[in-house]
Amino acid sequence: MQINFVAGEAKASSKTAVSVPVFEGGVLSPAAEAVDQATGGGVARAIAGGRFTGAKGQVLDLVAPTGLDVQRVILVGVGDKDAFDAQGAETFGADSFQAAKGSGAEVLRISLPAAPAEFPPRAAFGARLAAYRFDKYRTTEKPEKKPSVVAVEIAAHDPAAASAAFAPLSALADAVLFARGLVSEPANILHPEEFARRVKALESLGLEVEILGEAEMTKLGMGALLGVGQGSRRESQLAVVQWKGAADPKAPPVAFVGKGVCFDTGGISLKPADGMEDMKWDMGGAAAVAGVMHALAGRKAKVNAVGVLGLVENMPDGNAQRPGDVVTSMSGQTIEVINTDAEGRLVLADALWYCQDRFKPRFMIDLATLTGAIIISLGNDYAGLFSNDDDLSENLLAASKATGEPLWRLPLPAQYEKQIESMIADMKNIGGRAGGSITAGLFLQKFANGLPWAHLDIASTAWKKPSTASSIPEGATGFGVRLLNQLVADKYED
Ligand code: BES
Ligand code: MN
Ligand code: ZN
């Protein structure tokens, strides 16, 4: 998708769809006003006749308006005039793209010529996120089914300034789209080694990437992670990504740890067939971590950061681990594997321990599509936040507000630890149906070694079908990338 910033009065063509914001109550923005004048009151007439009020997300098409050489003008509702902010501009950009993409127009002109300077870049950001489409495996799609819009122009008061302000947002969009691309890939393509290769390729951004294979992980004693992968023909991998952007390259890093189960069949505790294809996106946590590292490098963030990705495939075969097996984690703690489908926490147990042991980070945040129970608790928009540290939680919740990636904090009551006590080992890997996401969090906490730590259960938010936000098309969301990038930018840079 090509994105350019142009002056408000730049000439359009008959292949162009122009989108203009309209506020609640049918109040015209300056851009809408200009269209109204050029069309001899066409905008006001169109609004007068129908139900369009300018409420958020509403759209109204003026096709082939007299007086303007454009294919159509799209009126996009942006809600209350006084509440229209940069976030609103982003949504406006995304809504505009969604409304125009199948219209036949080849160019979308998003008009914000009189808006504050930060609005046009944010609208461009919204349009880029909205335009994401995973279509690399479609070979026979009819042209009329493909999006018609191939270029987006943002009309801004100062196009050069807007373009410069868009650069960091564009780098962030690259990172979000990188994460979405990983999540969208099917598991026959994106197995642990292929995932590791794609992370290794991020060295071109200035990241340092090490890939550990099974031999190295065996030496480190990662029996929990390796147990999950032992039923797979694919080799398990641990990807370790470092960004050294702080003035002191030895300063303690912030750390992100991701669950990268490239496919989760459940193992011997096999999942039902219905919906199992969803488990290709059980690596959404690792994808988000890769995306965050991409984002930090992309904008040369003044911070040291580490990403640790546990990459495995959970398969049932003759070598697979059995319910009842006891594994020894790198921490030395033993785990009775009651259910091989509770595999994410086993992967994270070793990835978290390795991370704190090697890097002594300022904090660790893990991201994981960990439990179906979080979907029952929070629905499809909120990810669960679990933490042993109130400051870290507050900072995460603030970043969540700023980016529109919703989090909800849940407790980690010590008395629930009883549910994961084992008769024969230090703990067992499931705690029953009651508070399933919480007992998973309590399990992970045992591997944070007392460091400030937070766990984001993103099983609810990693994949959207149907979509609930115009900047997030159906499918992979890239949830977590913007959130954690914002967290670092707001609180942890030099
Ligand atoms: N990957 C799943 C969790 C999941 C479910 C993610 C639905 C996305 C959508 C995880 O490995 C799992 O199987 N969890 C079990 C845990 C149970 C066995 C304690 C679950 O949630 O049912
Ligand atoms: Mn599972
Ligand atoms: Zn899983």
Asked if pLDDT for residue 1 goes beyond 90, the answer is: no
pLDDT of residue 293 exceeding 90, the answer is yes
Give the pLDDT of residue 12.
87
Question: How high is the pLDDT of residue 323?
Answer: 98
DSSP H or E segment with residue 286: helix 284-298
* 266 CA: nearest ligand 1 atom: 13
Residue identifier of the C-alpha nearest atom 16 of ligand 1: 342
At 10, is the pLDDT very low, low, confident or very high (cuts 50, 70, 90)? confident
Residue 340: its pLDDT value, please?
Answer: 98
pLDDT at 328: 99
Active site residue 271: yes
Task: Give the 3-state secondary structure of residue 159.
Answer: helix
Q: Is 11 a catalytic residue?
A: no
Query: What burial class does residue 135 get, using C-beta atoms within 10 Å of its C-beta: 0-12 exposed, 13-18 middle, 19+ buried?
Result: exposed
Task: Give the pLDDT of residue 489.
Answer: 98
CA angle 95-5-126, nearest 5°? 25
The span from the CA of 460 to the CA of 159, in Å, is 39
To the question of pTM greater than 0.95 for the whole model, the response is yes
Residue nearest to atom 13 of ligand 1 (CA): 341
Counting ligands in written order, the one closest to the CA of 265 is 2
Nearest-CA residue for ligand 1 atom 3 is 371
| Mean pLDDT value across residues 14-21 | 97
pLDDT, tens digit, 9 for 90 and up, residues 173-204: 999 999 999 999 999 999 999 999 999 999 99
CA-to-CA distance for 335 and 429, rounded, in angstroms? 7
Which residue in 345, 428, 446, 482 is the catalytic one? 345
Average pLDDT over residues 270-276: 98
Please name which ligand lies nearest the alpha carbon of 266.
Answer: 2
DSSP 235: P
Residues 248-277 have a mean pLDDT of 98
**What integer pLDDT is reported at residue 239 of this predicted model?**
99
Instruction: Report, as an integer, the average pLDDT of 50-62.
Output: 96
Which amino acid is located at 241 in the chain?
A: V
- The pLDDT tens digits for 88-143 are 999 999 999 999 999 999 999 999 999 999 999 999 999 999 999 999 999 999 99
Cα–Cα distance measured from residue 105 to residue 61, given in angstroms and rounded to the nearest whole number? 12
Q: Is the pLDDT of residue 49 over 90?
A: no
**Token duo for residue 398:** 């603030």
pLDDT, residue 8, reads 85
Instruction: Pull the structure tokens for residue 147.
Output: 């999006």
Distance CA 21, CA 93 (A): 10
**pLDDT tier at 468 (50, 70, 90 boundaries)?**
confident
DSSP code string of 80-127: -GGG--HHHHHHHHHHHHHHHTTSS-SEEEEEETTS-TTHHHHHHHHH
What is the rounded distance in angstroms from the CA atom of residue 400 to the CA atom of residue 483? 6
Q: Tell me: the pLDDT tens digits for 335-362? A: 999 999 999 999 999 999 999 999 999 9
User: Does the CB atom of residue 372 touch ligand 1 within 6 A?
Assistant: yes
Average pLDDT, the chain: 97
**Atom 22, ligand 1: residue with shortest CA distance:** 372
pLDDT of the residue at 60: 97
Q: Is 371 in the pocket of ligand 1 (CB under 6 A)?
A: yes
pLDDT value of residue 44: 96
Question: What mean pLDDT do residues 157-166 have?
Answer: 96
**pLDDT attached to residue 11:** 87
pLDDT digits (tens, 9 = 90+) for 73-89: 999 999 999 999 999 99
Q: How are strands ordered across the β-sheet holding 453-457?
A: 208-212, 237-244, 304-314, 254-264, 363-368, 453-457, 383-387, 407-409
| Residue (of 305, 312, 316) closest to 283 by Cα position | 312
Q: Which tens digit of pLDDT belongs to each residue from 307-346?
A: 999 999 999 999 999 999 999 999 999 999 999 999 999 9
Taking the CA of 276 as reference, the closest ligand is 1
Residue 414 above 90 pLDDT? yes
C-beta of residue 289 within 8 angstroms of C-beta of residue 209: no
